[in-house]
Amino acid sequence: MASVLAMDPQLHSELAPHTVYGPVPSRRYGVTLGINLSPQGEKRCPLRCTYCQIGPERGPNRHVEFADLQRLQLEVTHAVRTAPLPIAAWVLSGNGEATLHPEFPQAVEVLLQLRAQLAPQTPIVLLTSGTELGRPEILKACGQLDEVAVKLDAGSQALYQRLNMPWQALDVAQVPMWAAKLRNAIAQTMLVQGSVDNTLPEEIAAYLKLLQQMRPQRVDLYTLARPPIEQGLRPASAAAMQQVADQINQLSLVVRVFADGLDD
């Protein structure tokens, strides 16, 4: 993201300087066009995940400028028309939480109209912390996308506070309950070990209960691919990840494991 952001906020250490970036290769979605509705060059997110590779936020009350929708339209059009490779997906990611954009539903409308004109077969994907899904207008807008990848790393409140650190009080069960209302939700789960370990049996048992309530279309398990903010964290072992995947399979849910981390 110093020049162009190449990965999702969970997996990148630099900030996006633009509203649109790429195309970039992605293990999950192929060659993608990245869309950053967050402020340029500054993180804005309801969570402070210990592993966030964008880095720390300068404070939730700081005034920031979110992406301008006219500029979004121009940049997407230019990027699609000049892309050197076929683009497999448009991915809303960038410098934090896209749904915090004050005109998120309108941004989705802009993207849907552009997609109809420029690339009718290209899916539009949102990577999200899910914290805003309780707002009806956000839920409705998300329902129009092709895939909404909702973060679910913890089953217990204590682990949610420790690992994801929401700025404001939020019940860990709330996000999966909201996401359950979407037909297009998947769960994306960062597994870590070391100073925080969300692969412990009691934590996985609580996590599986939330997954059962959420019933996502798919679960993507991944781990650290780059140095996290908290130095004591380390990637989950491939064996631990497979063990979690096996338990998810037993719930008759589709699961994919990215033991080397994700690059999208």
Find the part of the chain contacting ligand SF4 (CB under 6 A) among 49-57, 78-86, 114-122, 154-162.
49-57
Q: Is 166 in the site for ligand SF4 (CB under 6 A)?
A: no
Which of 6, 9, 154, 223 touches ligand SF4 (CB under 6 A)?
Answer: 9
Nearest CA to 10 among 41, 43, 40?
43
Beta bridge partners of 217: none
Using the Cα atoms of residue 159, residue 160, residue 163 and residue 169 in order, give the sign of their dihedral.
negative
Which of 40, 99, 129, 189 touches ligand SF4 (CB under 6 A)?
Answer: 129
Q: Is 38 in the site for ligand SF4 (CB under 6 A)?
A: no
Q: How far apart are CA 74 and CA 71, in angstroms?
A: 5
Contact present, 131 and 97 (Cβ < 8 Å): yes
The total number of residues shown for the chain amounts to: 264
Q: How far is the CB of 103 from ligand SF4 (least distance, A)?
A: 20
Q: Which amino acid makes up residue 95?
A: N
Q: Is 262 in the site for ligand SF4 (CB under 6 A)?
A: no
Phi, psi (5° rounding) for residue 225?
Answer: -115, -15
Q: How far is the CB of 250 from ligand SF4 (least distance, A)?
A: 28
Each residue 172-211 as x (binds ligand SF4 by CB under 6 A) or -, in order, gives: ----------------------------------------
By CB under 6 A, how many residues form the interface with ligand SF4?
11
Nearest 5°: the CA angle 101, 103, 107 is 95
Chain residues that interact with ligand SF4, rule: CB under 6 A: 9-10, 45, 47-49, 52, 54, 96, 129, 151
